[in-house]
Amino acid sequence: MVTVETGARLHFGFQNLSLAHPRLYGGVGVGLAEPQLVVDVEQATAVECDDGAVEPYLEAVVEELGVEGARVTVEERFARHTGLGSGTQLALSCLTGVARAYGLEPRPRERAPRLGRGGRSGVGVATFERGGFVVDIGHPTARFTTDPPQQGTWTVPPVLGRWTLPEDWRFVLVTPAGEKRGPSGEGEDRRMRTAVEHADPGIADEAATLLTRKLLPAVVAGERTAFGRAVARLGRLNGAWYADEQGGVYRPPAGDLVATLSESEAVTGAGQSSWGPTVYGVTGADDTDRAVTAAERALDAAGVEGRVSVVAPSDSGAFVE
Protein backbone atom coordinates (compact mmCIF):
# COMPACT_ATOMS: atom_id res chain seq x y z
CA MET A 1 0.00 0.00 0.00
CA VAL A 2 1.13 3.53 -0.80
CA THR A 3 0.01 6.56 1.21
CA VAL A 4 0.09 10.04 -0.32
CA GLU A 5 -0.38 13.18 1.78
CA THR A 6 -0.58 16.69 0.35
CA GLY A 7 -1.96 20.07 1.35
CA ALA A 8 -4.17 22.72 -0.18
CA ARG A 9 -2.92 25.86 -1.87
CA LEU A 10 -3.89 29.52 -2.07
CA HIS A 11 -4.00 31.19 -5.48
CA PHE A 12 -3.42 34.92 -5.16
CA GLY A 13 -3.91 35.65 -8.84
CA PHE A 14 -2.28 35.94 -12.27
CA GLN A 15 0.31 38.35 -13.57
CA ASN A 16 -1.48 38.94 -16.87
CA LEU A 17 -4.78 38.08 -18.56
CA SER A 18 -4.45 40.44 -21.53
CA LEU A 19 -3.76 39.22 -25.05
CA ALA A 20 -1.75 42.41 -25.60
CA HIS A 21 1.25 41.02 -23.68
CA PRO A 22 3.60 38.23 -24.81
CA ARG A 23 2.93 35.88 -21.91
CA LEU A 24 -0.47 34.94 -20.52
CA TYR A 25 -1.46 33.96 -16.97
CA GLY A 26 1.62 33.50 -14.74
CA GLY A 27 0.23 32.15 -11.48
CA VAL A 28 1.16 33.38 -8.01
CA GLY A 29 0.32 31.26 -4.97
CA VAL A 30 1.47 29.31 -1.94
CA GLY A 31 1.25 25.74 -0.68
CA LEU A 32 -0.47 25.16 2.66
CA ALA A 33 0.23 22.60 5.35
CA GLU A 34 -3.54 22.25 5.88
CA PRO A 35 -6.23 21.32 5.02
CA GLN A 36 -4.88 18.00 3.85
CA LEU A 37 -5.66 15.28 1.37
CA VAL A 38 -4.60 11.78 2.41
CA VAL A 39 -5.17 8.71 0.22
CA ASP A 40 -4.15 5.08 0.54
CA VAL A 41 -3.55 3.31 -2.78
CA GLU A 42 -2.95 -0.30 -3.72
CA GLN A 43 -3.06 -2.49 -6.81
CA ALA A 44 -6.43 -3.94 -7.86
CA THR A 45 -8.03 -5.60 -10.87
CA ALA A 46 -10.48 -2.72 -11.36
CA VAL A 47 -11.05 0.89 -10.31
CA GLU A 48 -12.26 0.90 -6.70
CA CYS A 49 -12.74 4.02 -4.59
CA ASP A 50 -14.71 4.73 -1.44
CA ASP A 51 -15.36 8.36 -2.47
CA GLY A 52 -17.46 9.04 -5.56
CA ALA A 53 -15.95 12.50 -6.00
CA VAL A 54 -12.47 11.01 -6.26
CA GLU A 55 -13.32 8.09 -8.56
CA PRO A 56 -13.15 10.07 -11.86
CA TYR A 57 -9.61 11.19 -11.00
CA LEU A 58 -8.63 7.59 -10.30
CA GLU A 59 -10.18 6.37 -13.57
CA ALA A 60 -8.19 8.96 -15.54
CA VAL A 61 -4.96 7.94 -13.78
CA VAL A 62 -5.47 4.21 -14.41
CA GLU A 63 -6.02 4.94 -18.10
CA GLU A 64 -3.02 7.28 -18.29
CA LEU A 65 -0.68 4.75 -16.66
CA GLY A 66 -2.09 1.79 -18.60
CA VAL A 67 -2.50 -0.39 -15.50
CA GLU A 68 -5.23 -2.90 -14.73
CA GLY A 69 -6.81 -1.04 -11.84
CA ALA A 70 -6.29 0.44 -8.40
CA ARG A 71 -8.02 0.70 -5.05
CA VAL A 72 -8.07 4.08 -3.32
CA THR A 73 -9.22 4.77 0.22
CA VAL A 74 -9.63 8.45 1.03
CA GLU A 75 -8.54 8.99 4.62
CA GLU A 76 -8.90 12.77 4.55
CA ARG A 77 -9.71 15.44 1.99
CA PHE A 78 -10.89 19.02 1.73
CA ALA A 79 -13.90 20.35 -0.14
CA ARG A 80 -13.77 20.70 -3.91
CA HIS A 81 -14.27 23.98 -5.80
CA THR A 82 -13.71 26.21 -2.78
CA GLY A 83 -10.60 27.99 -4.06
CA LEU A 84 -8.08 25.67 -2.39
CA GLY A 85 -6.93 23.67 -5.43
CA SER A 86 -8.46 20.29 -4.63
CA GLY A 87 -8.68 19.11 -8.26
CA THR A 88 -4.97 19.23 -8.98
CA GLN A 89 -4.07 17.71 -5.62
CA LEU A 90 -6.56 14.87 -6.12
CA ALA A 91 -5.35 14.14 -9.64
CA LEU A 92 -1.66 14.18 -8.72
CA SER A 93 -2.14 12.24 -5.48
CA CYS A 94 -3.96 9.47 -7.33
CA LEU A 95 -1.29 9.54 -10.05
CA THR A 96 1.57 9.31 -7.57
CA GLY A 97 -0.08 6.63 -5.45
CA VAL A 98 -1.04 4.36 -8.36
CA ALA A 99 2.31 4.78 -10.08
CA ARG A 100 4.23 3.93 -6.90
CA ALA A 101 1.96 0.96 -6.20
CA TYR A 102 2.97 -0.46 -9.58
CA GLY A 103 6.64 0.48 -9.28
CA LEU A 104 6.38 3.26 -11.87
CA GLU A 105 7.70 6.82 -11.82
CA PRO A 106 4.76 9.25 -11.38
CA ARG A 107 6.30 12.19 -13.37
CA PRO A 108 3.48 14.53 -12.20
CA ARG A 109 4.64 17.61 -14.12
CA GLU A 110 4.88 15.68 -17.37
CA ARG A 111 1.58 13.83 -16.97
CA ALA A 112 -0.52 16.59 -15.39
CA PRO A 113 -1.71 18.02 -18.76
CA ARG A 114 -3.09 14.63 -19.82
CA LEU A 115 -5.05 14.63 -16.56
CA GLY A 116 -6.41 18.09 -17.39
CA ARG A 117 -4.20 19.96 -14.93
CA GLY A 118 -1.82 22.91 -15.34
CA GLY A 119 -3.60 24.37 -18.34
CA ARG A 120 -3.39 27.90 -16.96
CA SER A 121 -1.68 28.11 -13.59
CA GLY A 122 1.28 25.97 -12.63
CA VAL A 123 0.96 26.78 -8.93
CA GLY A 124 -0.94 23.61 -7.96
CA VAL A 125 1.57 21.32 -9.66
CA ALA A 126 4.53 23.23 -8.23
CA THR A 127 3.22 23.15 -4.66
CA PHE A 128 2.48 19.42 -5.00
CA GLU A 129 6.11 18.96 -6.02
CA ARG A 130 7.85 21.15 -3.44
CA GLY A 131 5.45 23.46 -1.59
CA GLY A 132 6.52 27.04 -0.92
CA PHE A 133 5.54 30.43 -2.33
CA VAL A 134 5.55 30.01 -6.10
CA VAL A 135 5.49 32.22 -9.19
CA ASP A 136 5.30 30.59 -12.64
CA ILE A 137 6.09 32.06 -16.07
CA GLY A 138 2.70 31.46 -17.65
CA HIS A 139 2.07 30.46 -21.28
CA PRO A 140 3.01 32.15 -24.55
CA THR A 141 0.06 34.35 -25.52
CA ALA A 142 0.47 33.25 -29.16
CA ARG A 143 -0.85 29.81 -28.21
CA PHE A 144 -4.16 31.16 -26.96
CA THR A 145 -7.12 29.92 -29.01
CA THR A 146 -10.80 30.83 -28.90
CA ASP A 147 -11.71 27.18 -28.41
CA PRO A 148 -10.26 25.34 -25.40
CA PRO A 149 -7.11 23.33 -26.30
CA GLN A 150 -7.36 19.57 -26.39
CA GLN A 151 -6.46 18.02 -23.06
CA GLY A 152 -2.80 17.15 -22.86
CA THR A 153 -1.64 19.50 -25.63
CA TRP A 154 -0.13 22.03 -23.22
CA THR A 155 2.80 21.90 -20.81
CA VAL A 156 2.70 22.97 -17.18
CA PRO A 157 4.21 26.48 -16.86
CA PRO A 158 7.76 26.33 -15.49
CA VAL A 159 8.43 27.84 -12.09
CA LEU A 160 9.96 31.31 -12.27
CA GLY A 161 10.81 31.25 -8.58
CA ARG A 162 10.06 29.42 -5.36
CA TRP A 163 10.64 30.81 -1.87
CA THR A 164 10.21 29.54 1.68
CA LEU A 165 8.01 31.81 3.78
CA PRO A 166 9.02 32.52 7.40
CA GLU A 167 8.06 29.81 9.90
CA ASP A 168 5.88 32.15 11.96
CA TRP A 169 3.69 33.32 9.06
CA ARG A 170 0.14 32.04 9.01
CA PHE A 171 -3.00 32.32 6.90
CA VAL A 172 -6.46 32.56 8.40
CA LEU A 173 -8.94 30.84 6.09
CA VAL A 174 -12.65 31.63 5.97
CA THR A 175 -14.88 29.36 3.89
CA PRO A 176 -18.57 30.35 3.92
CA ALA A 177 -20.97 27.43 4.31
CA GLY A 178 -23.72 26.81 1.81
CA GLU A 179 -22.30 29.17 -0.79
CA LYS A 180 -22.22 28.20 -4.46
CA ARG A 181 -18.93 26.51 -5.25
CA GLY A 182 -16.44 28.11 -7.58
CA PRO A 183 -16.72 27.35 -11.30
CA SER A 184 -14.89 24.36 -12.76
CA GLY A 185 -14.62 22.41 -15.98
CA GLU A 186 -16.33 23.90 -19.03
CA GLY A 187 -17.93 26.65 -16.97
CA GLU A 188 -14.56 27.83 -15.69
CA ASP A 189 -13.04 27.62 -19.18
CA ARG A 190 -15.82 29.78 -20.58
CA ARG A 191 -15.46 32.43 -17.87
CA MET A 192 -11.67 32.50 -18.14
CA ARG A 193 -11.76 32.96 -21.92
CA THR A 194 -14.29 35.74 -21.66
CA ALA A 195 -12.13 37.48 -19.06
CA VAL A 196 -9.00 37.09 -21.21
CA GLU A 197 -10.67 38.38 -24.37
CA HIS A 198 -11.80 41.57 -22.56
CA ALA A 199 -8.86 42.06 -20.15
CA ASP A 200 -7.41 45.55 -19.72
CA PRO A 201 -3.65 45.32 -20.51
CA GLY A 202 -2.92 48.22 -18.18
CA ILE A 203 -3.79 46.10 -15.16
CA ALA A 204 -1.00 43.68 -16.09
CA ASP A 205 1.49 46.55 -16.12
CA GLU A 206 0.54 47.44 -12.56
CA ALA A 207 0.65 43.76 -11.52
CA ALA A 208 4.18 43.42 -12.92
CA THR A 209 5.37 46.46 -10.99
CA LEU A 210 3.66 45.18 -7.84
CA LEU A 211 5.32 41.78 -8.17
CA THR A 212 8.86 43.01 -8.72
CA ARG A 213 8.92 46.09 -6.50
CA LYS A 214 6.77 45.02 -3.57
CA LEU A 215 5.67 41.38 -3.41
CA LEU A 216 8.91 39.54 -4.14
CA PRO A 217 11.06 41.90 -2.06
CA ALA A 218 8.66 41.35 0.85
CA VAL A 219 8.98 37.57 0.47
CA VAL A 220 12.78 37.64 0.34
CA ALA A 221 13.08 40.12 3.21
CA GLY A 222 10.48 38.32 5.34
CA GLU A 223 8.32 41.46 5.71
CA ARG A 224 4.88 40.14 6.53
CA THR A 225 3.01 43.45 6.48
CA ALA A 226 4.37 44.37 3.04
CA PHE A 227 3.64 40.85 1.79
CA GLY A 228 0.04 40.98 3.00
CA ARG A 229 -0.60 44.33 1.40
CA ALA A 230 0.96 43.19 -1.88
CA VAL A 231 -1.00 39.94 -2.25
CA ALA A 232 -4.20 41.77 -1.30
CA ARG A 233 -3.50 44.32 -4.03
CA LEU A 234 -2.74 41.58 -6.56
CA GLY A 235 -6.10 40.02 -5.71
CA ARG A 236 -7.93 43.29 -6.28
CA LEU A 237 -6.21 43.78 -9.63
CA ASN A 238 -7.25 40.29 -10.69
CA GLY A 239 -10.76 41.00 -9.44
CA ALA A 240 -10.99 43.90 -11.87
CA TRP A 241 -10.39 41.44 -14.71
CA TYR A 242 -13.00 39.02 -13.35
CA ALA A 243 -15.63 41.55 -12.21
CA ASP A 244 -18.13 40.78 -14.98
CA GLU A 245 -17.68 37.03 -14.55
CA GLN A 246 -18.04 36.82 -10.76
CA GLY A 247 -20.29 39.74 -9.87
CA GLY A 248 -17.67 42.19 -8.64
CA VAL A 249 -14.03 42.45 -7.66
CA TYR A 250 -14.76 39.57 -5.28
CA ARG A 251 -17.40 36.88 -5.64
CA PRO A 252 -20.13 37.57 -3.04
CA PRO A 253 -19.95 37.29 -0.08
CA ALA A 254 -16.14 37.36 -0.29
CA GLY A 255 -16.04 41.14 -0.58
CA ASP A 256 -17.78 41.63 2.76
CA LEU A 257 -15.51 39.07 4.41
CA VAL A 258 -12.37 40.69 3.01
CA ALA A 259 -13.49 44.15 4.12
CA THR A 260 -14.11 43.09 7.72
CA LEU A 261 -10.94 40.97 7.92
CA SER A 262 -8.90 43.91 6.69
CA GLU A 263 -10.05 46.02 9.65
CA SER A 264 -8.23 43.75 12.10
CA GLU A 265 -4.77 44.73 13.31
CA ALA A 266 -3.93 41.01 13.34
CA VAL A 267 -4.44 40.72 9.57
CA THR A 268 -2.01 42.48 7.24
CA GLY A 269 -3.80 41.68 3.99
CA ALA A 270 -6.87 39.76 2.86
CA GLY A 271 -8.27 38.46 -0.40
CA GLN A 272 -10.12 35.76 -2.28
CA SER A 273 -8.30 32.58 -3.30
CA SER A 274 -8.93 31.71 -6.94
CA TRP A 275 -12.71 31.83 -7.64
CA GLY A 276 -13.50 31.52 -3.94
CA PRO A 277 -15.59 31.27 -1.92
CA THR A 278 -12.62 30.83 0.46
CA VAL A 279 -11.11 34.07 1.72
CA TYR A 280 -7.66 34.32 3.29
CA GLY A 281 -5.99 36.77 5.63
CA VAL A 282 -2.23 37.07 6.22
CA THR A 283 -1.35 36.85 9.91
CA GLY A 284 1.30 35.50 12.27
CA ALA A 285 1.65 32.67 14.78
CA ASP A 286 1.44 35.16 17.64
CA ASP A 287 -1.77 36.67 16.29
CA THR A 288 -3.85 33.55 15.61
CA ASP A 289 -6.43 34.15 18.33
CA ARG A 290 -7.11 37.70 17.16
CA ALA A 291 -7.19 36.56 13.54
CA VAL A 292 -9.77 33.88 14.34
CA THR A 293 -11.88 36.44 16.20
CA ALA A 294 -11.68 38.76 13.19
CA ALA A 295 -12.69 35.93 10.85
CA GLU A 296 -15.67 34.98 12.99
CA ARG A 297 -16.67 38.64 13.16
CA ALA A 298 -16.44 38.81 9.36
CA LEU A 299 -18.82 35.86 8.99
CA ASP A 300 -21.27 37.48 11.42
CA ALA A 301 -21.08 40.83 9.61
CA ALA A 302 -21.75 39.11 6.28
CA GLY A 303 -24.68 37.19 7.77
CA VAL A 304 -23.30 33.77 6.82
CA GLU A 305 -21.99 30.72 8.60
CA GLY A 306 -18.70 29.13 7.73
CA ARG A 307 -15.49 27.44 8.71
CA VAL A 308 -12.49 29.29 10.13
CA SER A 309 -8.97 27.89 10.46
CA VAL A 310 -5.44 29.18 10.79
CA VAL A 311 -2.83 27.31 8.79
CA ALA A 312 0.89 27.46 8.13
CA PRO A 313 2.48 27.63 4.68
CA SER A 314 3.98 24.37 3.46
CA ASP A 315 7.67 24.16 2.69
CA SER A 316 7.56 20.70 1.17
CA GLY A 317 5.61 18.90 -1.47
CA ALA A 318 3.53 15.78 -1.20
CA PHE A 319 4.66 13.12 1.29
CA VAL A 320 4.69 9.58 -0.12
CA GLU A 321 5.12 6.51 2.06
Least confident of 18-22, 181-185, 227-231: 181-185
Average pLDDT on 173-194 reads 82
Is the confidence at residue 268, as pLDDT, over 80?
yes
The reported pLDDT for the residue numbered 273 is 98
pLDDT exceeds 90 at position 68: yes
Model pLDDT for residues 147-179, shown as the tens digit of each residue: 889 999 999 999 999 999 999 999 999 999 976
Categorise residue 245: left if φ over 0, alpha if ψ from -120 to 50, beta otherwise. alpha
Taking Cα atoms as reference points, which of 176, 194, 207 lies closest to residue 83?
176
pLDDT the model gives residue 146: 82
Mean residue pLDDT across the chain? 96
CA distances from 148 to 154, 186, 188, 241, 280 (A): 11, 9, 11, 19, 30
**Which residues does 191 contact at the CB level (< 8 Å), separation at least 6?**
183, 242, 245, 246
Cβ 279 vs Cβ 271: under 8 Å: yes
Helices (H), 107-247: 108-111, 123-130, 185-198, 201-210, 216-221, 224-246
Mean pLDDT of 27-47: 98
Contacts of 158 (CB under 8 A, 6+ apart): 122, 136, 137
Q: What is the DSSP string of 120-160?
A: S--HHHHHHHH-SEEEE--EEGGG--SSPPPTTSS-PPPEE
Domains annotated for the chain, with CATH where assigned, are 2-320 (3.30.230.120)
